[in-house]
């Protein structure tokens, strides 16, 4: 079967992968998803116009790991226009996996796709489109801020994760003495008293001193900004959240004194690395009981699911993932044990040890009896050969009565 594209004749071809097929047609790359993949991607067939394709990343299949083709599109393109939701690792990519036995068909497809993209005359246009993507986002952000001020839109709050327990210092408190005083005097706090609060991180628009400025607000008062080098790292995520109608908040530690009549303060944010503070996969949905963060526990057996987790890993980074917890009975010839099974996007990716599972099973059992799913914050690191997955969850004994009433009560 042949097709004409960009003034030349190419062969239209299709390679069968693991859970999905990749097809090259006259003017598009098409992903035909199987039942499981279609559920994850929220689309049975995804059609990606070749004019939108920036590049295709190919990884060969080996003895222990699957291969994949990851299709990247311009930052200016919303994947939802194709009928799909953003990919778990890169919001501008879609991926198809294959086993070693399928290598030949994917190698043939790769040669055809790479050749076609190399000869595509619109590459310069796409490059320019990517370059202007940031400017387009800033314009969209400015429009969103204007709508929020007119109360045409209402932002929802998302508390950024911090499984690493790391922190970031705020700068510029010395220029916010009135704001520091306002946080202490009306609230009945004494100078020199340290307190914890919730801080909003705001990607500012129109800042004459720093185009990447990220403002830090506590209880409606601006207490400072992220340092320039930090603002550059965190702003892309904050802009993305704002355009999705979300305001990012973090826990903060605040301290200020007024010993000589001059207010001086310090603000520290409980803020991890940009990759690990916002989950890269979609929320599992409701009804759910989301566990607060707590101690770090290791998931075991994740190496057996390298075909699932491997493509999600970005070497050198720790990726945040929504995980669900489920009761699993493992039967042996003369005994059986119950443990917690960990799943990502509905697929098992490991278990917790029996000792670690004991307390959490109480939570899982209560939630399942109410028809709810327990959700935990997961963190994935490693490479295509080895992965490590952890969860940040509290001990059952440390769960507050307020959390139990909100999530495990029949009337919740």
Decide if pLDDT at 358 tops 60: yes
pLDDT bracket for residue 74 (50, 70, 90)? low
Contact yes or no for 35/90 (Cβ under 8 A):
no
What is the model's pLDDT at position 34? 67
Decide if pLDDT at 8 tops 80: no
pLDDT bracket for residue 5 (50, 70, 90)? very low
Contact yes or no for 329/335 (Cβ under 8 A):
no
Q: What is the CATH number of domain 156-275?
A: 3.30.70
Decide if pLDDT at 314 tops 90: no
Q: Give CA separation, 47 vs 50, 82, 107, 162, in Å.
A: 9, 6, 21, 36
Decide if pLDDT at 401 tops 80: yes
Q: Which residue has the tokens 């009135």?
A: 178
pLDDT in tens, 14-23: 998 887 889 9
What is the model's pLDDT at position 150? 82
Output the pTM of the full model: 0.67
Contact yes or no for 392/295 (Cβ under 8 A):
yes
Higher pLDDT, residue 172 or 119: 172
pLDDT bracket for residue 295 (50, 70, 90)? very high
pLDDT in tens, 263-275: 999 999 999 999 8
Decide if pLDDT at 39 tops 80: no
* CATH class of this structure's domain 2-131: mainly beta
Domain boundaries, the chain: 2-131, 156-275, 279-407
pLDDT in tens, 275-285: 899 998 888 88
What is the model's pLDDT at position 302? 94
* Average pLDDT value for residue range 108-115: 86
**Quick check: do 2-131 and 156-275 share a fold?**
no
In the chain, what percentage of residues exceed pLDDT 90?
A: 47
pLDDT bracket for residue 121 (50, 70, 90)? very low
What is the model's pLDDT at position 130? 35
What is the model's pLDDT at position 43? 54
CA dihedral 188, 194, 200, 206 (to 10 degrees): 90
Decide if pLDDT at 35 tops 60: no
What is the model's pLDDT at position 284? 86
* Average pLDDT value for residue range 198-204: 95
What is the model's pLDDT at position 128? 39
Mean residue pLDDT across the chain: 84
pLDDT bracket for residue 125 (50, 70, 90)? very low
What is the model's pLDDT at position 297? 96
pLDDT bracket for residue 2 (50, 70, 90)? very low
What is the model's pLDDT at position 1? 35
3-state secondary structure the chain: CEEEECCEEEECEEEECCCEEEEECCCEEEEEECHHHHHHHCCCEEEEEHHHEEEEEEECCCCCCCEEEEEEECCCCCHHHHCCCCCCCCCCEEEEEECHHHHHHHHHHHHHHHHHHHHCCCHHHHHHHHHCHHHHHHHHHHHHHHHHHCCCCCCEEEECCCCCCCCEEEECHHHCHHHHHHHHCCCCCCCCCEEEEEEEEEECCCCCCCCCCEEEEECCEEEEEECHHHHHHHHHHHHHHHHCCEEEEEEEEEEEECCCCCCEEEEEECCCCHHHCCCCCCCCCCCEEECCCCEEEECECHHHHHHHHHHHCCCCCCEEEEEEEEEEEEECCCCEEEEEEEEECCEEEEECCHHHHHHHHHHHHHHHHCCCEEEEEEEEEECCCCEEEEEEECCHHHCCHHHHHHHCCCCC
From 111-125, 158-172, 309-323, the region with the lowest mean pLDDT: 111-125
Most confident stretch, 6-10, 58-62, 192-196: 192-196
């Amino acid at each position: 079967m042949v097709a004409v594209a960009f003034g030349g004749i190419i062969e239209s071809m299709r390679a069968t992968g693991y859970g999905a097929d990749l097809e090259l047609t006259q003017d598009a790359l098409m992903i035909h998803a199987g039942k499981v993949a279609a559920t994850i991607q929220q689309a049975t067939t995804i059609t990606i116009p070749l004019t939108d394709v920036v590049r295709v990343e190919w990884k060969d299949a080996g003895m222990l790991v699957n291969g994949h083709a990851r299709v990247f599109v311009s930052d200016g393109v919303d994947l939802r226009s194709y009928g799909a939701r953003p990919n778990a690792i890169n919001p501008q990519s879609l991926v198809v996996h294959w086993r070693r036995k399928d290598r030949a068909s994917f190698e043939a497809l790769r040669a055809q796709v790479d050749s076609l993209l190399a000869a595509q005359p619109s590459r310069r246009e796409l490059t320019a489109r990517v370059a202007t993507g940031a400017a387009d986002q800033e314009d969209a952000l400015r429009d969103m801020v204007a709508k929020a001020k007119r109360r045409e839109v209402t932002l929802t709050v998302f508390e950024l994760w911090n499984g690493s327990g790391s922190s970031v210092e705020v700068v510029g408190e010395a220029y916010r003495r009135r704001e520091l005083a306002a946080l202490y005097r009306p609230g009945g706090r004494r100078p020199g008293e340290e307190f914890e609060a919730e801080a909003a991180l705001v990607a500012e628009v129109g800042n004459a001193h720093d185009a990447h400025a990220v403002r830090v607000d506590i209880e409606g008062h601006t207490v400072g900004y992220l340092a320039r080098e930090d603002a550059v790292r965190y702003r892309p995520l904050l802009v993305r959240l704002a355009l999705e109608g979300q305001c990012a908040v973090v826990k903060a530690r605040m301290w200020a004194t007024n010993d000589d009549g001059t207010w001086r303060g310090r603000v520290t944010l409980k803020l991890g690395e940009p990759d690990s503070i916002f989950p890269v996969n979609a929320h599992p949905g409701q009804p759910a009981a989301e566990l607060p963060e707590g101690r770090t526990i290791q998931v075991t057996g994740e190496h057996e699911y390298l075909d699932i987790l491997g493509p999600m890993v970005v070497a050198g980074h720790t990726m945040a993932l929504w995980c669900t917890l489920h009761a699993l009975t493992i039967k042996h010839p003369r005994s059986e044990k119950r443990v917690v099974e960990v799943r990502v996007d509905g697929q098992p990716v490991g278990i917790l040890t029996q000792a670690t599972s004991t307390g959490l099973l109480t939570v899982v059992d209560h939630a399942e009896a109410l028809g709810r799913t327990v959700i935990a914050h997961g963190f994935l690191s490693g490479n295509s050969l080895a992965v490590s997955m952890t969860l940040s969850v509290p001990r059952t004994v440390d769960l507050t009565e307020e959390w139990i009433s909100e999530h495990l009560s029949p009337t919740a």
